[in-house]
Amino acid sequence: MKSLSVELGVILIGFAIFGYAEVRGADWKLYDSCERYLCYYDTQNITQPSKNIVRVWEKWDYTEKGVIDFMSHMEKFGSKYRNLSYLKFLEEINCLEGTYRSLSLTYYDNKGDVISAFSNSSEWDFIIPKSMNESLCKKVCK
């Protein structure tokens, strides 16, 4: 039973690190934009955990329209997103298969405080042609 507790503790610590880690030495480069947000990726902290997989930190700066649209879709979460400023998330891209998944997401307000954070590997999804994910893929899958 003690072994299970230790394993769960290690898993929770790992999620905390992924979800709340400040990306140090970040060099944010714009890779795409739309009327809702500007999309950046951190050129200094790209890793390759396996042969065809790339991990990259992203930051989406929300525009005023982006915040309004987000709020209209997230009414159930209340007003805490009213001061939404940006989203940072860690994404994995399978360059060979043309798929991606998110590992963690953290929403920040206009003071830089965390609004909410989620650490959980999502399912792999295909990268849609002419999408923001395709723009990012072209930058990091070289």
How does pLDDT run along the chain (142 residues), one tens digit per residue?
443 333 433 333 333 333 334 445 789 999 999 999 999 999 999 999 999 999 999 999 999 999 988 888 877 666 888 899 999 999 999 999 999 999 999 999 999 999 999 998 889 999 999 999 999 999 999 8
98: exposed, middle or buried (Cβ count in 10 Å: 0-12, 13-18, 19+):
middle
77/116 Cα distance (integer angstroms): 10
Go through the domains of the chain in sequence order and give each one's CATH number.
2-140 (2.40.128)
* Full-model pTM: 0.78
